[in-house]
Structures are given as C-alpha cells and as structure tokens.
Amino acid sequence: MRTRVVFVILFIFLTFIPFAAKKKPADPIMPDVTARGLALYEYDQATWHATDALQALRPETQALGRYIAHKSGAVWEVAFGRLNQARDTFVIAYRATQGANIQEFTATKLDPPQADTAFYLDAARAIDTALQDFHVQKRMYNAAVLPAADNQLYVYVTPAQTENGVYPLGGDARYLVSSDGNTIIEKRQLHIGIIENRGNLPKGAKIAAGIHTHILSDVPEDTDVFYVLTRKPATPEMIGTKSKKFYEISVDGTIREIKM
C-alpha cells in the first residue's frame, strides 16, 4: 500500500510540471540537439525496418558484420556487410532502400558483393574505433553513425531495446571521429547509469511525463531527444540538472527551459 501511495505522489508531481509549463510558454532552444536527436531516431527506424526487410531474404549470416545507414536527400539506405581484413574496403553483401516512408524498405542481395571505399568504409572504421574505447555493460548495444562538420563522423553507442515497451535511457556516449574513421577527436559521455522504466502504473493511471536528472551536464543530450521520440505512448520528458535548471523535451523533440 505504501508503494502505491509513493507512486501516485510521483504521478501527481509529474502531471503538475507540464501544467505549469503551459502557463509560461517558452520558445524552443538548442535546435542542434533536437536536430541530432531527430537524425538518430531516423537512423534507428531505418535500420530497424531495413533489417526486417533483410530477414525476408534469409541472408547468409557469414557475410554480415555490420549494418550502416546513410541518408541521401530524403531517402535512407542501409548497407549490410563487413570490413575486409586490410580495413580498406567495406564489402556490402545486402542493401535495403527506403520506399514511400521510413517504415518501408526493399532489401536486395548484391551478387557479387559491392566494394565500398567511401562513406560506408569510413563509418565502419569509425564504429570499430568507438567500440574499442567504449566500456560496455553486460547487455546489447547499438552503434549509429551520423555525419558531422568538416566531413567528420558522430558515432553514438546506446543500449539496445531488448523488451517490448521498455525503453532504456542512459549508459551511452557520443564520439566525434575523424573523416577516415580511425581517430577519436572527442568523446562525450552522455549519461552514466541506465534507466529502464517498466511503467507499472496503478489501474487507470496515465503518465503525463517522465523525469530524470543529469549529473554529467547542465543541458539535455541528443539521446534524450531520441528517447522521447522512441518511447510509446509518446510523452514529454522533464530533465533536471545539477545547476537546478529544468528542461522539457516535447514529443516532437523540441526543447524548452522551464522556469519554476
């Protein structure tokens, strides 16, 4: 009975914050963080649906080492393959291309496999470089590569979702890697611990927003935006920082500072 009361108090607190925020609307801030979070979400959606399309072909697993997504214009493509032994070519065994939307992909087998010495090669090397540095916990992780300024690459290492309805947040990092994928220029640890909220709500209750606290930085991170966009049902996320600032990430990924 005591646990239920505590939970309801938390629920009331979470519903109060967005209500207060609506009384003091603020302009969106940190558009760069929102943009990277949106791109990371699209990357995740592309690789998810492309992998589903690939499975229909019953692929030869020995030809698959990595999957890497790349957006050209408005269309995503996902390459499935592996680095050769010399690490100077990414050998693409299968390719999946977006259709009318990001949930629709068509996969094809490349026979013979295609040798790539451009983006996919650099991205594959960048993933290897980041993972050699990242100290993973005992769980599955995903790696995503996004273009950065000056032809450099961002590599995100994030905990993979392993249960339906459970969306992990935290334990993640962002690497800025050289254009050839071989050198780490900057590492940003985004969160330390991993939160896995299983949403055990009292009957009839609904979550108005989630909430967590940052101890590494005073601002929302790219993966906070990614988390909000991924979580279902869609709900905002409140973020408190060590400098006692509060932010809200809306369900469209926009960020606002909340004046308490």
- What pLDDT score does 114 carry? 97
Long-range contacts of 243-247 (CB under 8 A, 24+ apart): 243/218, 245/218, 246/17, 247/219, 247/220
CA 131 to chain CA centroid, nearest Å: 16
Question: Is the model's pLDDT at 14 over the cut of 80?
Answer: no
User: Can you tell me the mean pLDDT for 112-138?
Assistant: 94
Q: Where are the domains of the chain?
A: 2-258
pLDDT digits (tens, 9 = 90+) for 156-208: 999 999 998 899 999 999 999 999 999 999 999 999 989 987 656 666 667 77
- What pLDDT score does 66 carry? 95
Pairing of strands 210-213, 237-240: parallel
Question: Is the model's pLDDT at 86 over the cut of 50?
Answer: yes
Start-end of H helices in 24-75 = 31-55
Burial class (CB in 10 A: 0-12, 13-18, 19+), 147: middle
Tokens found for residue 50: 């492309």
- What pLDDT score does 15 carry? 38
To the nearest whole number, what is the mean pLDDT of the chain? Answer: 89
